[in-house]
Amino acid sequence: MSWSRVVITGAGAVTALGVGKDALFDGLREGRSAFSFRSFHHERLPELPPLYGAFIGEFQVSDFLGRKGIRSLSRESRIFMCAAVMACAEAGLTPQVWERPSVGVFGASVLSGYEDYLRLFTDGLLDGVDRINPAQGPQTGFNAPTSQLAIHLGAEGPNITLTNGGTSSLDAVAYAADYLRDNRAKVIFAGGVETLSYFSAREFISGGAAETAQPPRPFDMGRNVSVLGEAGAVFVLENAGEVRARGGRVQAEVLGYGRAFEPPSSLHALERASRRAILEALREADLEPHAVEAVYASAAGEREADAAEAASLFEVFGGRTPVYCVKGAVGECLGAAGALQIAAALLGLTQNLIPRTLGFHTHDPASPALRVTTEPLRLTPRRVLVHALDVGGSATALILAAPEPL
C-alpha cells in the first residue's frame, strides 16, 4: 500500500488545567495539577457525596461556537466541539473554503451520551413518557459529539466514533491516519472527549475508582487507584502533501501505530497486550526501540495496569528512555486520555519540554526501574511513543516524530 505521510497541524484542548492548548501546556510546564471535589446534582434524585477528580471549569462556550445552535448540545458535545474549533484555528484552516467532503471527524469516548441517555430514561419514569423532550434524544448517542462537530464545521467526509476504554482516542487518531494515508480524506479532526456527570459520578463514587481523595501516583510505590478527569482534546491531521501545498505548519508526523488485545486474565496478559502493541508500532514506523527518545505512558496510578505497563516498557526500551505520565496532572480521562498524552507529546516535540511526572516520587521495587521524569527535561525528542493500556485488555501505541521538511 502506498504510504502518504500524515501530520498533525493543529491541537485544541479543554482540560481541568484550563481552556486551550496553551493553558494545558502552561499547567504542565509549571507542574500544576487540577484535582478537587465536585458535587453533581440531579433536580429530583438523591444528592451525591462530592467526587474527587480533575474537572473542567465553567467557560464561555459561545466564544467558540457562536450563540445559536448550542442550547440542546450535551456538555461533551460542546467541549469536543470547542477543542476542535481551537485546533482548526491553530492549523490555519477555514471551514468556509475547504472542500467539505474531504474533511472528516473521528471521535472517541467511553461515556458520551450516557448522562443524556439516563436523564431521558429517568425523565420518562418521573414525568411520564409523553413529557420527554425530543430535542434531547440525539444527544444520548455515543456519536453526538462527532456528528455535531461535523454539522458545525460542515465536515462531510468520513465520520467515525469509536469506543475502546482508555485506548479510544489513540485508536481514533490511528484510524484517521489510515484514512489519510489512503487518500480517503485530506483533513481529519481526531480526538476524544470525556465528561463526568450525575449518573457516572454516582457509579464512580461507589465503584471505588475514586475513593481516596489523593492525587494519583503513576508508577509510584504508594500508588493505589487512578483519579478520574474530564477533558476534550482534538487534533487536526492532514495529508502531508496537502499541508505543503497550502503552506501549513507541521507540529508532528504520525509514523505508525500498533494495537493489541488480550483477555485481561492476569497482569501478564496486560503486559503482553502492551508489548505487542508497542512492537507493532515500532515495526510499522520502521524504528528500533533505541530510536524512541521519550515515552508518554498510560500509567494513571492503578496498581495492576501501571505494573503491567512498567514491565512491558522496560522490556522494550530498558530503563534509560524518559517516561512521562500526563495523568498525574490531569487524571484518568478515559476516552480522552490518549489524546491528552498526544498533547503532552506535542509539548516535547514543538517546545522542547518533557515535564515532571506529578505524583511520582518513589520507584516501586516490585517493578523494573523506568526513568520516570522527576524534574522537567529540556530536550528535543525526535521520535516519541505514546502508549495507552486499558485494564479491559486493549493496548494501542502510536509513534510520533518531530516536524521535518516535507
Partner 1 sequence: MTGLGVVSPIGIGAEEFWRRALAGSVGTSEITQFDTSPYQTHRGGEVVAFRPELYINKLDAAGLSRSTQFAVAVTRMALEDAGLLDSDIPSERVGVCFGIVLGNRPSAERYASRLCRERVAGGVARAAVTSHDAAVTSRAPAAEFGLTGPNLVLPTACAAGNSAISFAMDAIRAGRADVMVAGGADELSKTMFMLFNSFRSMAPLAVQPFDRHRKGLMLSEGAAALVLESDEHARARGARIYGEVAGHGNSADAYHMTAPHPEGRGAVRSIREALGQAGLGPDEVNYISAHGTGTPVNDLVEAKAIHTVFGKRVGTIPVSSIKGMLGHTQGAASAIEAVSCLLAIRDGIVPPNANYEEPDEDCDLDVVANAPRRLRVDVALNNAFGFGGNISCVVFTKV
Partner 2 sequence: MEHEEIKQIVRETLTEILELEEDEVGDEAHIADDLGGDSIRKLELIVALEKRFDIHYAPEEAAGMDSVESIIQATRNHVRSRT
Q: 3-state DSSP call for residue 258?
A: strand
39 or 362: CB nearest partner 1:
39
Q: Which of residues 267-306 bind partner 1 (CB under 8 A)?
A: 273, 276
Q: 3-state DSSP call for residue 330?
A: helix
| Partner touching 68 among partner 1, partner 2, none, CB below 5 to 8 Å by kind | partner 2
Q: Which of residues 53-72 bind partner 2 (CB under 8 A)?
A: 67-69, 71-72
| Partner touching 142 among partner 2, partner 1, none, CB below 5 to 8 Å by kind | partner 1
Q: What is the sign of the dihedral through the CA atoms of 164, 165, 171 and 172?
A: positive
* Residue from 135, 221, 366, 369 binding partner 2 (CB under 8 A): 135
Residue 378 within binding range of partner 2, rule CB under 8 A = no
Output the smallest distance, CB 117 to partner 1, in A: 6
Burial class (CB in 10 A: 0-12, 13-18, 19+), 223: buried
Residue 44 within binding range of partner 2, rule CB under 8 A = no
Binding mask 332-361 for partner 2 (x = CB under 8 A): ------------------------------
Residues 6+ apart with CB under 8 A from 217: 223, 224, 301, 328, 359, 360, 361
Residue 266 within binding range of partner 2, rule CB under 8 A = no
Residue 134 within binding range of partner 2, rule CB under 8 A = yes
Residue 125 within binding range of partner 1, rule CB under 8 A = yes
**Would you give the distance in Å from CA 62 to the centre of its chain?**
23
Residue 207's CB is within 10 A of a number of other CB atoms, namely 11
Strand pairing class (252-261; 103-108)? unpaired
Asked if residue 160 lies in contact with residue 145, where contact means CB atoms within 8 angstroms, the answer is no
51 or 87: CB nearest partner 1:
51
Strand pairing class (6-15; 231-239)? antiparallel
Output the smallest distance, CB 243 to partner 1, in A: 22
Q: Which of residues 161-200 bind partner 1 (CB under 8 A)?
A: 161-165, 167-168, 171, 175, 178, 184, 199
Burial class (CB in 10 A: 0-12, 13-18, 19+), 170: buried
Binding-site ranges for partner 2 (CB under 8 A): 67-69, 71-72, 127, 130-135, 137-138
